[in-house]
Amino acid sequence: MSGRAYRRALVTGGAGFVGSHLCRRLLGAGAEVVCLDNLATGSRSNLAGLRAESGFRFVRGDATDPAAWRALPGRFDLVLHFACPASPADYLRLPLETLAVGSDGTRHALERARRDDARFVLASTSEVYGDPLEHPQTETYWGNVNPVGPRSVYDESKRFAEALVTAHRGVRGTDAAIVRIFNTYGPRMRAGDGRAVPTFIAQALDGAPLTVAGDGSQTRSLCYVDDTVDGVLALAASDEPGPVNVGGGEEITMLGLARRIVDLTGSASRIRFVERPADDPTRRRPDTRLARERLGWQPRVGWSEGLERTIDWFTRSAAA
């Protein structure tokens, strides 16, 4: 690990869930931050308080549009490419846009990083592993992805973006890295984005049935957003090219997660089973030895604490 510090960072998708946490963390570390976001899935409310900071600038624009890149002021020494619809509800609603930001958006971000001689980090995803035949998933696993299935617009967008980063680094010498982010949760998730944690919390707080797909036996390994941000920035500060898995170590079934959220909220909600989406992965857990050994990173926030923080945020947001 080189322990590099950055003075001026660009975060594409910085008004999104993880992106907004990255903007705040970088500002807190003393960096100037420019956020580029078209607000297709991000929100100005995620940037509450930041726009008054002298070191922060929000630019509304699409990462696939060359004009948006020309509008970005100055030189950056860090480019974090997080622009992309990330929930199934969003990328199924915006399939062409999802493919475009993984291809054209990634290319523009890489070219800006190379021009500015900046460190570049691509936000990739555990979805590149598809419905994995290897468990837990290591970075050397090639994945089991349906290239024409309903989830393919997201999966293949990220797989292409990884290939583009790798080629750019090899041919043009761009200082580029790939982080594969597993399911992340925490404050500032949208209640209606279709992912399990915000959906279950919103339903539990409303007293509505928690809608568990299939029989709920499919597993995920969730990571609290502060830990995910720690992992991303540890990779950014290093010389590692990746890909590096960043995700939680505790595997839980979706039925178990729903029951835990009911308990933590004190809700009287019941469980209602619904049809399981096509190509929904059966098991998902990262092997994070590489992040631990090369970056000194591992998750620190446990399930109870992370879920309690998230539930508290949703409760306060609903009351505001």
Catalytic residues: 154
Peptide bond into 136 cis (omega under 30): yes
Phi, psi angles (nearest 5°) of residue 131: -90, 90
Question: Residue type for 143, please?
Answer: G
Q: What does the alpha-carbon distance between residue 257 and residue 275 come to, in Å, rounded to a whole number? A: 17
Locate 130 and state its tokens.
Answer: 């598809």
DSSP state at residue 222: -
Q: Are 221 and 248 in contact (CB under 8 A)?
A: yes
Q: What does the alpha-carbon distance between residue 106 and residue 127 come to, in Å, rounded to a whole number? A: 17
Peptide bond into 88 cis (omega under 30): no
Q: Under DSSP, is residue 224 helix (H, G, I), strand (E, B) or coil?
A: strand
Q: Taking the CB of residue 204, how many other CB atoms lie within 10 A of it?
A: 23
CA distances from residue 247 to 19, 96, 116 in whole angstroms, order as listed: 16, 27, 30
